Amino acid sequence: MRPAGVALKWVYLGIGLVLALAPFVWMISGSFRSEADLYQNPASLFPTSLTLHGYIGVWQQLPFLRLLLNSFVFAGVTTALTVLFDSMCAYALARLNFVGRNVCFVIVIATLMVPFQVTLIPVFIQLFHLGWLNTYQGLIVPRATSAFGIFLFRQFFMSIPRDLDEAARIDGAGHWRIYWRVILPLAKPAIATVAILNFTNLWNDLLWPLVITSSNDMLTLPAGLTLFGGQHVTDHAILLAGATISLLPIAIGFFFAQKYFVAGVATTGLK
Amino acid sequence: MRKRIAVAVAATAIVALGLAGCSASTGSGDSGGKVALSLWTGFTGGDRPGYAQIVNDFNDSHPNIHVTMTVQPWDTIQQKLPSAWLTGQGPDLATPSSDPNAVADYVKKNSVLPITQTGSGKDQIDTDKLAPGTVKEFTYNGKLYAVPANFATLSLYYNKKAFAAAGIDEPPATVAEFAEDAKRLTTGDQYGLVLADNQTIQMWPILQWLEGGDIVDSKFCSVVQTSAGQRSLSTWSDLVSKEKISPVGLTGAEADSLFSAGKAAMEMNGPWAAPGYKSAGIDLGIAPIPTGVDGTSVTLGSTAPLAISAKTQHPKEAQEFLAYWTSKNVQEKFSLKTGFPPLRTDLADDAKLKSDPVISVFAGQVPDSRLYLPHVPNATKVDSDAYTTLIGQITRGTPVDTATKQAASTINGLTGCSS
Amino acid sequence: MTSSTTDRVSSHARGGTRSPEARATKSQPAEVGRARRRLRWQPAWLFMAPSLIILSVFVLYPILRTLYYSFFDWSVGAAVQPFVGLGNYVKLFRDPQFWNALGVTLEFTIVSVVLLIVFGLVTALALQSEGLASRITRSVFFFPTIVSLATIGLVWKFLLDPDIGLIGGITKALGLPPLAWLQSEQLALPTLIFVSVWRSLGFAMILFVAALQGVPTERYEAGRLDGAGTIALFRYITLPGIRPTMLFATMMLTIQSLQVFDLVYVMTGGGPIYRTDTLVNLIYRDGFVNFQTGYAAAVSWVLFALIMLISLLQLRIFRYNDVD
């Protein structure tokens, strides 16, 4: 590439990097700043005086560890279930011939086209009839499968050569064996992709835990942090501290897993 | 074979999850003879400790009843409460909204219990002594459906330092001085009077009332488009759009932030804001709202309804709790703790309250307070669709006659006004 | 495995009754054929059972229930729910708020998706290599996608605040008057679009990186041998090569953008004066604030139909038949 082209490329990327990172730097630094500091020095990215009252406030006013536990249980268990159920469903859609296969797939995709807020009230009433309100199973089961995950797995499975299935069949394997022993191990990138996307979406989900739970100690962390908002409540440090804290586990997880994720999307062979 | 086992495992897992109950208690039920009541409130602000105190004191003094209060943001309550009460899953008691008009909808759906334990006896709610507008506000078809959880008036907060710097000795006493001061105090770095128009306890109705106008008449027909209505709006909309005394489109929280930061010289706000302003280091002054063009005092009164679920299993104890909440000693303690005026008229001459500088200003204005859109049909929608839009338009330069005409037709359409 | 072995294996598999996926041949008698067909689909339904059950009970049934509500003047918990037939739909077509929301949503979607595709592709082109710098930069760009929309809305709202925001502070330091980005009638929607693109750019970029890496290098060499320059290579080799991903990305981003809610709710609440009021914001407001659940349900179904229509159109335009 010509030097001018290279320079242009890095200027563009440089601006992009600054734009991508600056808001987070500001968020973290803001969580340590007092209101007065924020107002007097808006142009500065860094605190002129450090204060921990944001974090102390969050700690004092919430059953913090319980919320963290709830978040992990909810996001973790649900994600594991989605990986299992979505891949099973996708295996059928990708590998098995049956009447109504295309219809099923279209219906699955169609569920992506309805915004969540729309089905909230009917689902709430259903959970009530099941007695699952304010319980872990009520939080988890309705979310234990994801149309997007089914789609991703299906595309990935379709790109795995059938020779391997055939070889396993000669050895006398039934479908479950093929799925479990042949397809899944090859699907690690897709598993990583679906797991990361679903985990982060579930972790960040506010509306769902807020509506399904009726006591504060069943909330997830991000949902619990909304308790600090309000019509006439203005303590930016607490809000930003809350945002930073709920971001931390995701950021740490992302830092370790991003290799797999980026590779995962790349080799999922989205075709 | 294997696949059948695996699917069976999956199915069992689902069923097992269904049977395993890891639920937290929802609060309603008996535990060894003790009546447990659950309460949802939306008081996430600086007044929160006051309510927690009421609950604690009640639990201490009533050993056979235990109330658990869960605090959530108002929007959350709005999203959950209708379905929760419909399915009987909700709390025994709740403040459905910070908007008193919201009760109307719950009454229509028979979700709230009519309150019958009224009177002046023990464990009875003394409705005669409650702030008058509130009882009327929560009475529908002759029955009382909620009590005020609190009662606040708006007063004029002002920054003494800013006033001194502009050479103004006293806070404005009349609406003319009010406008004058707002203009003078607007300098490059500072807004004279910061006004919020959305997601807030409304401030603009006060300005209208001061200028001799109003929003609807007694038949719920719009009067903003009348000449009086237009005049009541144009003075201040010009001040905002031309003299820039305030930024446009602020939420309540944003307006409060500006005042906290010393970037606004005046703000009309309720007692909940005082602690925050003081801890922000503002040299704070609190004055009654200036008098209007006709010389009378007026301000906005705001109250949140506290209601009982129609499906509660403990109506008697729930009403006992309401009686406690609104009783004299409890309200005196609450006022002293939060700076709110008491919601009882028989505390008007209470010595302790009178001597408190913050409370006395707010309490003194209770007799002159008016509610925003009281009992107006579809009040919530009138506020969001018509009034907020109207203010948003005129403060951005839309001519007052055009904007009010539009608002009038929206309002009349919503309230069913037939003129 | 040589292909002849595969053939032999396949025919062996075809003959046995233990392989449910056996391709039925015309020589089989009808009964065995039917039995085989039964065996063929049965495991499929077992595999799909957990997902299908959950989707049916907790997604499909509520969607259908919402359709049912839309034919009533429905309000959660009301004693009487009068049947209004198509009344809500008629009301919708006469409602200026609906048309406003439709316009806002379409404007938001078209502009965001175009910007995301263009900048996503450009960024992906710049970051195709697997070098360390490239991979780190890609991860940084991708990071905003995994942050919750509520946090992003919150942080950007503060950043853009004319009085305490970084942007406001910088413009003031430069001597310019700070703009009230989110309170301005003209700037509110563009600002929202900017934040939305900022957030999802990394996602689009990753999709395109994957696609670009999937275009075989031989094609480029062949093209270069034919004397094609950079632009021609891009037009005739790159673009066709990534077409499937282009379709997928466009459809995915369009479906998401048409449903935008969280950012709007946190940053502007639909204001100022409904300039950023999107369809889902309208649905939320009518359903949860004004308690007109029936009407909100009708708007939801119109939105659903719209999303279906636009998706089908996109499939048509790309003339791509393999997605199903």
pLDDT computed for residue A229 by the predictor = 63
Lowest-pLDDT choice from B139-143, B228-232, B258-262 = B258-262
DSSP state, C17?
T
To the nearest whole percent, how much of chain C has pLDDT over 70? 84
Chain B residue with minimum CA distance to A85: B10
Q: Residues A17, A19, A24, A27: is their CA dihedral positive or negative?
A: positive
d(CA C145, CA C136): 15
**Are C43 and B110 within 8 A, CB to CB?**
no
**Looking at residue B62, what is its pLDDT?**
92
Task: Report chain C residues whose CB lies below 8 A from the CB of A268.
Answer: 210
By CA distance, what is C48's nearest residue in B?
Answer: B7
Q: Which residues lie closer than 8 Å to C142 by C-beta, 6 or more apart?
A: A258, A261, A262, C202, C203, C205, C206
What digits encode the pLDDT tens for the residues C216-227?
888 888 888 888
Structure tokens at A20: 């991508």
Picking from B73, B83, B281, the nearest residue to A230 by CB comes out as: B73
How does pLDDT run across B62-82, given as a tens digit for each residue? Answer: 999 999 998 888 877 887 888
- For residue B83, the chain C residues in CB contact (below 8 A) are 76-77
Q: Measured between alpha carbons, how far is A224 from B95 in angstroms, rounded to an integer?
A: 19
User: ipTM score here?
Assistant: 0.84
Residue C83 forms contact with A (CB below 8 Å): no
Q: What is the predicted pLDDT for the residue at A261? A: 67
Are C273 and B4 a contacting pair at CB < 8 A? no
pLDDT over 60 (residue C10): no
Separation in Å, CA C22 to CA A238, B291, C7: 63, 90, 13
Look at the block and give the residue holding tokens 């808001």.
A23
The nearest CA of chain A is from the CA of B74 a distance in Å of 7
* Tokens found for residue C252: 């995915």
**Subunits touching C (CB < 8 Å, at least 3 pairs)?**
A, B
Whole-prediction pTM: 0.83
C101-120 residue pLDDT tens: 999 999 999 999 999 999 99
Secondary structure, 3-state, C79-116: CCCCECCCHHHHHHHCCHHHHHHHHHHHHHHHHHHHHH
pLDDT digit of tens for each residue in chain A (271 aa)? 567 778 888 899 999 999 999 999 988 888 888 777 777 777 777 777 788 888 888 887 778 888 888 899 999 999 999 999 999 999 988 888 888 888 889 889 888 888 887 888 788 888 888 888 888 899 999 999 999 899 888 888 887 888 888 888 888 878 888 888 878 888 888 888 888 889 988 998 877 887 788 777 778 888 777 766 655 566 778 888 888 888 888 888 887 777 776 666 665 545 4
Residue B366 sits at the vertex; the CA angle it makes with B365 and B370, to the nearest 5 degrees, is 100
Q: CB neighbours of C238 closer than 8 A, spacing ≥ 6?
A: C212, C215
Buried b (16+ CB within 10 A) or exposed e, C268-289: bbbbbbbbbbbbbbbbbbbbbb
Longest dimension (CA), chain B: 91
A221: closest CA of chain C, how far (Å): 12
Subunits next to B (3 or more Cβ pairs <8 Å) are A, C
Whether B65 and B320 have beta carbons less than 8 Å apart is answered as: yes
- Cα B181–B185–B187 angle (5° rounding)? 150
Task: List the single residue in C with minimal CA-CA distance to B264.
Answer: C163
Taking an 8 Å cut-off on Cβ atoms, the answer to whether A270 and C303 are in contact is no
Q: Please judge whether A251 and C143 are an interchain contact, meaning their C-beta atoms are less than 8 angstroms apart.
A: yes
pLDDT of residue A271: 45
Instruction: Judge: C47–A91 Cβ closer than 8 Å, yes or no.
Output: yes
| Residue B395 vs residues A203, B266, B392, B413: alpha-carbon distances, Å | 41, 18, 6, 24
CA distance B358 to B374: 27
Q: Residues 69-88, chain A: which have Cβ within 8 Å of B? A: 84-85, 88
Closest Cβ opposite residue B24 in set A120, A217, A232 = A217
Establish if A49 touches chain B: CB-CB under 8 angstroms.
no
